[in-house]
Amino acid sequence: MTLRGAGVAVSARHNLLGSIHMMIGLFLFAIMEVLIKWKVADYPVHQLVFFRASFGLIPCLVMVWQAGGLSVLKTRRPGEHFLRGLVGLGAMWLVFRAYETMKLADVSAILFAAPLFLTALAGPALGESVGLRRWGAVLVGFAGVLLIVKPGSTALQPAAVGVLAGALLFAVAMILMRRLGTTESPGAITFFFSVFAMTAGMVMIAMFGWVTPTPRDFIVLAMIGLIGGTAQLFVTQSLRLGEAAVVSPLRYSSILWVVTFGYIFWGELPDMMVVAGLIVVICSGLYILHRETRLAIIERRLDLPNR
């Protein structure tokens, strides 16, 4: 049995394998977030960024090897890699910082706004046409985000605004990755970002100091990078194996792991406003994904330019 999406035959087996890879990657990302929240009170954010990037390079090299070896690292676009690194580093710093004061589930819920920002920016940044239905879905999704961050209430935290800014930066990073993806492999994009973030982390350590970890903490900090890099490897492989329309919606299931771990380790549960906003954001994101997938299939069948 084959499933057809975007004009390419994809077997049900490949979609199943892609889905399994995605679920493993999301589980590993949730573990990484737990480790970051655990250690962010003991070590400065720039040190966490350094460990995430430096040890994340190890599984990243596996990705480079799968893409064809060191030859894939040749690039004529160092400036765009630098910009993608700068934007991604800012997003990472804001999100890591937020874990110190915010619930795991609240941070993840706000980060689901990234696809909404991506859709909103697709027109001016990528020249894509965004119709009224997708704009409507974006506006509905942002209404859900407002339920989560609660602007104007005493519950609003500066960290929540920081995470929202991080989601915007993640969307910009995705746009830059799309542009780079026309000539660069995913392994190369991930490698250059990791090197940039590691170097920036070293510079910040030199400027703002280093907290020497205990042997046990060193292992935990190293695991942040190893687990995060391995998670990225699994998510990337999932998108190679399966159709985006099948595996991408699984990203929203990550909230189940985050809520579970938040409750087990910190007794955290999202309040009803966050749950309501999360449902709205997820439904909006799924509609946008469904709409874009459907249009892509129609355009390929009719041999029309991308919208």
Q: What is the pLDDT of residue 173?
A: 92
Partners of residue 226 on adjacent β-strands:
none
Give 304's pLDDT tier (boundaries 50, 70, 90).
Answer: very low
Q: What is the pLDDT of residue 152?
A: 58
Phi, psi of 8 (to 5 degrees): -120, 130
Give 294's pLDDT tier (boundaries 50, 70, 90).
Answer: low
* Integer Cα distance of 261 and 241 in angstroms: 28
* 92 pLDDT above the threshold of 60: yes
Mean pLDDT over 20-36 rounds to 95
| pTM for the model | 0.85
Q: What is the pLDDT of residues 117-170, one digit of tens each?
A: 888 887 776 666 667 777 788 888 888 888 888 765 545 678 889 999 999 999
Q: What is the pLDDT of residues 34-60, one digit of tens each?
A: 999 999 999 999 999 999 999 999 999
Q: What is the pLDDT of residue 305?
A: 45
Report yes or no: 81 and 75 within 8 Å, Cβ to Cβ. Answer: yes
Q: What is the pLDDT of residue 8?
A: 46
Q: Which residue has the higher pLDDT, 188 or 94?
A: 94
Share of the chain above pLDDT 70, in %: 86
Our CA angle for 180, 182, 184, nearest 5°, is 60
Mean pLDDT over 67-77 rounds to 85
Q: What is the pLDDT of residue 129?
A: 64
Q: What is the pLDDT of residues 230-263, one digit of tens each?
A: 999 899 888 788 877 778 888 888 999 999 999 9
Q: What is the pLDDT of residue 151?
A: 67
Report yes or no: 109 and 259 within 8 Å, Cβ to Cβ. Answer: no
Mean pLDDT over 3-22 rounds to 69
Mean pLDDT over 211-218 rounds to 96
Partners of residue 10 on adjacent β-strands:
3
* 297 pLDDT above the threshold of 60: no
